[in-house]
Structure 1
Amino acid sequence: MGEDPTRTHDKQLRGWLSYAFASEVFVIVSLTLFLPICLEQFARDNGYLDREDRKEPCNSVAASPGGRAEARCVVKLVGLWIDSASFSLYVNSISVALQALTVISMGGIADHPPHRKRLLLMFAALGALSATLFLLLPSSSPIWPCSALLGICANVGFGASVVAMNAYIPILARTSPEVVELREQALEPSNSPAPARAANDLDADSNAPLLESADHSTEPDDTSQDYSRALSAATSRISSLGIALGYAAGILLLILTLIPVTLLKGSTFSLRLAISASGLWWAVFSLPAAAWLPGSDTTAEAELDHDREWSVTKEIAKAWKRLFGMLRWREIRRLRNTFQYLAAWFLLSDGFTTITSTAVLFGKTSLNMPPSSLVVVGIITPLAGIIGSLAWPRLQRRLGCTNLKVLTTLVIMASFVPAYGCLGFIPLFSQGRVKFGGLTTPGELYALAMYFGSVYGAFQGYARAFYAELIPPGEEARWYGLFSITDKSSSFVGPLVVGLIADTTGNIRYAFFFLVGMIWLAVPVLRSVNVERGRKDAASYVYTSGR
């Protein structure tokens, strides 16, 4: 007797949510808050004021409120003097480049259920261990640049594991009870009604197109529309719930880490302790995912892999060959709307994430906010994110807006944050004629954190669920690999350009102009996506390797 399908689905969903609860903490606590300021502090502890002789340590003026404004802090690495804030941004860019190579290489492997789970756990272990090891590396150590290596490994581990995690979303949505029921109703009018399936058949069936193409079955219009709505709702619900749980975990750990950061007055040790705590949390709460997510117990897939000559090297080579094949113009035209959305996502995800990291560094280096205050900013942002992720779907139902319209609205609202920072160049604000405005006071950063968090939380839920409807069934990991290249842990262009702007101008505020332009550039691309057509093209898509 097979296991009850509903119980199987619920257990697998709990496993998936547990990993969201475990891994999102690294993003909220470390990646967007403590890791940038910790890396900047590592560089500052070993850097010098950018004056003629470059002999005075940066920390010699740390106690002076205006000291950091007199001369920026620079550190010498590989023969070059770089801004201490740019060090953090460059490390992030390098980690993203390596992460991109990793997620592309693993896409084909992760599309097989047994290997998907193994990859998720392997990269989770890499990321969690790298974050935890920050506790053992003081900034006074002669090997302090290894902090960059730990940061890179942690980010690669997170990004790669999330590719495997996201690949479960369409499968979990397809196997949710309400979607399965409507799928059976949609297939009933066919000449060969589908037989009842046992629970063990759900994993294999979840990789098949949910509604067969017109060549294979007749699609009842009403039932198909009900099915599509149920599938979209299930996808959005699962994605948003994962984000809300992850945010809740991040807020809880941020509150806990606020205690040592405050007591130790934002010392480098307290920052390392916070990053290490996120790694331990990540490791411990990944254990339920290891127990409940479907993996090697999927016997049909396991037997398939054992019957053929399977090797990691061959799969990596095939993944890169497939990537170049997917990017041929002929394939892009067949999935035009999917690629249009990816183009918009490339700009938006990079821009949104860079806004977060730039704001934190701006608060530390330009507004002279202590780490404890930045922790409060870090708590406000995901807390507002939970509110936004729950409030926007209700607002959408009340207004009757499409997902695309909601996404566009959120993007435009987010662009107001860097635009507000640009106002700081107006003499009225920059010369202190008024006490508030243009992001010149810490209080404004708190307010912007709440506003941006409410927008960003909703954006993440809608963006991930929206993409799930535009990718071919059975190739989730491969397509989420492309998606994750510019996910929140994978912003590449933004941090690199912001780092160059900070190095060139000596004023990170100029980066706000770049961020406004980056976000607005994506709006017309996003608006051009035809959702219904993109969903149909993805459902009927079959990759052809021939030229």
Structure 2
Amino acid sequence: MADTATAAGDTATPPQPPHSTRRERTGWYFYDWAMSAFSTTVITVFLGPFLTSITEVAAGCELGAADCTGYVYPLGIKVAAGAYFPYLVSLSVFLTVFVLPVTGAIADRSAHKKRLLAVAAFLGSGATIAMVFVTGDRYLLGGALFVFANVSFGAAVVVYNSFLPQLGGPDDRDGISSKGWALGYLGGGLLLMLNLVVVTLFSEEGNPQRTLDLARWSIVSAGVWWAAFTLVPLFWLRERPSVEAAAGGVRGNVLLDGFKQLGHTIKGLKAYPLTLFFLLAFLVFNDGIQTVIALASQYGTEELRLDQTTLIVTILLVQFLAFGGALLLGGVAKRIGAWKTVLMSLVLWTGVILAAFWLPAEAPIPFMILGAAIGLVLGGSQALSRSLFSQLIPAGKEGEYYGFYEISDKGTSWLGPLAFGLVFQLTNSYRVGLVSLLIFFVVGFLLLLAVPMRKAIIAAGNTPPRVL
């Protein structure tokens, strides 16, 4: 791998222009293909039920028991077996709030961002592969590996996203980001489909241990996939150091200086109020998106009384149609601009919520059609939000600002579920609970509409794209 960054002590060199080869962009896309296996196979489908089963065994329940009321005691804390995995998710999200901005600050000061991407990705994939040792009642090992993998996943995403502003000019980033998201959904969906086929073919009725083992190996396969395909961006991406690193290298301890730089950036955030306002809008509407994704299966099973086969088919449908949806909305953004396209996508999300309220129970076809609609709008709204934010980042601060972006993406994902849960508790209706999520899309739309994007981009010291 040939690096283009200057070594410490060299004479100053001008920042690299926002230009990249097709090979380099393809390498960048392939990290989305690599990491999406963790999001789909591990987080979305297999890990929650797998780790809950391991925890129930540790709590003294029989494997495959329909109802387990046992407890485990991690670090001496009494935890219901069924609550162990949600608590782990909360812990990992809490840790990312501290880890991600620091990771971004280090990336901005390092002349070797690819190395930082490799470290985060291989630590996360290694922890996922190590799930092969989570057998019997080893719930503590499984929990520790998951938290480590999930935090590493977020850190790698920050470094990965920080390359985006350096791969293309203002008019190119929407397309680049959309292709990355699209390939990610395709790769994640492909591995998930293969794993679901294997589990379906080799499971044995009345043998929960076989099902558990198949789930464990499915999780391991995602770690192997993540590690193997990470090699593509490591070989094909160029090193793209920050302006500071390119102008003479970074002296001193990168880790300690990263913490110091983060402090300076936090103090300086007030100089970019419009960037912060965009982050607020993203926090609100993205929370609605993430809540719909997280609770769709529960809504399908509890309210619509759909079987597991319908839910699995719908999940795969969403994955593969999100591939086309990301490209479709990327094409729309090229014509009318990313800002207008994201606003349009939020209107479509509002329509999805209203349609979900009227879905009939025990009717799989309407549910699948709604899943198809979610897939078409999902990838594009996420991809274009990422590229829009790249326009609002001051040069040389890509890593740090994408650290804050990832916190907005993951660190507040409890707001939507909280609203859903409170409304359900008051009304005892999943349908009304789902409709409560409309506020996130409506308020998010109004906040994003209020952001003067062209002015915000100029205020960050960047050149606006021709079409917004």
Shared fold by TM > 0.5? Answer: yes
Other-structure match for 1:406 = 341
Other-structure match for 1:274 = 218
The superposition leaves residues 350-397 of structure 1 with CA deviations (integer Å, 9 ceiling, x where unpaired) of 221221121134446666766655432221112111221222344456
Structure 2 vs 1, CA of residues 94 and 368 (structure 1 numbering), >3 Å: closer, same or farther?
Answer: farther
Distance 1:6 1:345 in 2: 25
Structure 2 vs 1, CA of residues 169 and 122 (structure 1 numbering), >3 Å: closer, same or farther?
Answer: same
**1:344 matches 2:344:** no
1:310-459 maps to which residues of 2 (within 5 A)? 310-319=253-262, 321-327=263-269, 331=270, 334-363=271-300, 373-395=310-332, 401-422=336-357, 437-438=359-360, 441-459=363-381
Q: Which moved further from structure 2: 343-352 or 261-270?
A: 261-270
Instruction: Work out which of the residue numbers 512, 528, 538 in structure 1 matches 2:460.
Output: 538
Shift of 1:326: 3.1
Shift of 1:450: 1.1
Distance 1:324 1:76 in 2: 42
The superposition leaves residues 187-209 of structure 1 with CA deviations (integer Å, 9 ceiling, x where unpaired) of xxxxxxxxxxxxxxxxxxxxxxx
Distance 2:65 2:435 in 1: 32
Other-structure match for 2:42 = 30
Other-structure match for 1:13 = 25
2:121 touches 2:153 (CA, 8 Å); kept in 1? yes
Instruction: Work out which of the residue numbers 101, 112, 117 in structure 2 matches 1:104.
Output: 101
Structure 2 vs 1, CA of residues 273 and 348 (structure 1 numbering), >3 Å: closer, same or farther?
Answer: farther
Q: Which moved further from structure 2: 506-515 or 453-462?
A: 506-515
Distance 1:502 1:83 in 2: 25
The superposition leaves residues 425-471 of structure 1 with CA deviations (integer Å, 9 ceiling, x where unpaired) of xxxxxxxxxxxx35555444422221111110111121111111111
Other-structure match for 1:117 = 114
Distance 1:285 1:532 in 2: 37
The superposition leaves residues 112-133 of structure 1 with CA deviations (integer Å, 9 ceiling, x where unpaired) of 3534222211110121112222
Distance 2:133 2:158 in 1: 29
1:33 touches 1:374 (CA, 8 Å); kept in 2? no
1:123 touches 1:160 (CA, 8 Å); kept in 2? yes
Aligned AA for 1:457?
G
Structure 2 vs 1, CA of residues 492 and 337 (structure 1 numbering), >3 Å: closer, same or farther?
Answer: same
Other-structure match for 1:290 = 234
Structure 2 vs 1, CA of residues 21 and 396 (structure 1 numbering), >3 Å: closer, same or farther?
Answer: closer
Other-structure match for 2:448 = 526
Distance 1:89 1:173 in 2: 39
Aligned AA for 1:281?
W
Aligned AA for 1:293?
L
**1:493 matches 2:427:** no
Percent identical residues: 24
Shift of 1:292: 2.4
Distance 2:277 2:256 in 1: 31
Instruction: Work out which of the residue numbers 142, 149, 155 in structure 2 matches 1:147.
Output: 142
RMSD over aligned Cα, in angstroms?
3.6
Distance 2:129 2:428 in 1: 33
Q: Is there any run of 5+ residues in structure 2 with no aligned partner, and where?
A: 5-16, 464-468
**1:460 matches 2:382:** yes
**1:136 matches 2:71:** no
TM-score normalised by structure 2 residue count: 0.81
Equivalent position SS for 2:248: helix
Equivalent position SS for 2:163: helix
2:34 touches 2:229 (CA, 8 Å); kept in 1? yes
Q: Which moved further from structure 2: 457-466 or 372-381?
A: 372-381
Other-structure match for 2:157 = 162
Distance 2:416 2:88 in 1: 9
Structure 2 vs 1, CA of residues 515 and 94 (structure 1 numbering), >3 Å: closer, same or farther?
Answer: farther
Shift of 1:495: 6.9
Q: Which moved further from structure 2: 97-106 or 295-304?
A: 295-304
The superposition leaves residues 472-530 of structure 1 with CA deviations (integer Å, 9 ceiling, x where unpaired) of 1221111111111133x555324762796599689793652443333322121111011
Instruction: Work out which of the residue numbers 170, 181, 192 in structure 2 matches 1:254.
Output: 192
Distance 1:485 1:123 in 2: 17
1:46 touches 1:57 (CA, 8 Å); kept in 2? no
Distance 2:340 2:20 in 1: 35
Distance 2:427 2:218 in 1: 29
Other-structure match for 1:172 = 167
The superposition leaves residues 380-419 of structure 1 with CA deviations (integer Å, 9 ceiling, x where unpaired) of 112111221222344456xx64432221221132234444
Shift of 1:103: 0.8
Q: Which moved further from structure 2: 93-102 or 266-275?
A: 266-275
Distance 2:299 2:57 in 1: 18
Instruction: Work out which of the residue numbers 484, 493, 498 in structure 1 matches 2:406.
Output: 484
Other-structure match for 1:207 = none
Structure 2 vs 1, CA of residues 297 and 505 (structure 1 numbering), >3 Å: closer, same or farther?
Answer: closer
Instruction: Work out which of the residue numbers 59, 78, 88 in structure 2 matches 1:91.
Output: 88
Structure 2 vs 1, CA of residues 172 and 92 (structure 1 numbering), >3 Å: closer, same or farther?
Answer: same
Shift of 1:83: 8.1
Shift of 1:58: 8.9
Structure 2 vs 1, CA of residues 81 and 287 (structure 1 numbering), >3 Å: closer, same or farther?
Answer: closer
Structure 2 vs 1, CA of residues 394 and 500 (structure 1 numbering), >3 Å: closer, same or farther?
Answer: closer
Equivalent position SS for 1:280: helix
TM-score normalised by structure 1 residue count: 0.71
Other-structure match for 1:309 = 252
Aligned AA for 1:168?
F
Q: Which moved further from structure 2: 507-516 or 402-411?
A: 507-516
Distance 2:306 2:64 in 1: 15
Aligned AA for 2:187?
A
Shift of 1:344: 1.0
Q: Which of structures 1 and 2 has the bigger CA Rg?
A: 1
How many residue pairs match? The answer is 439
1:92 touches 1:492 (CA, 8 Å); kept in 2? no
Distance 1:108 1:460 in 2: 23
1:29 touches 1:378 (CA, 8 Å); kept in 2? no
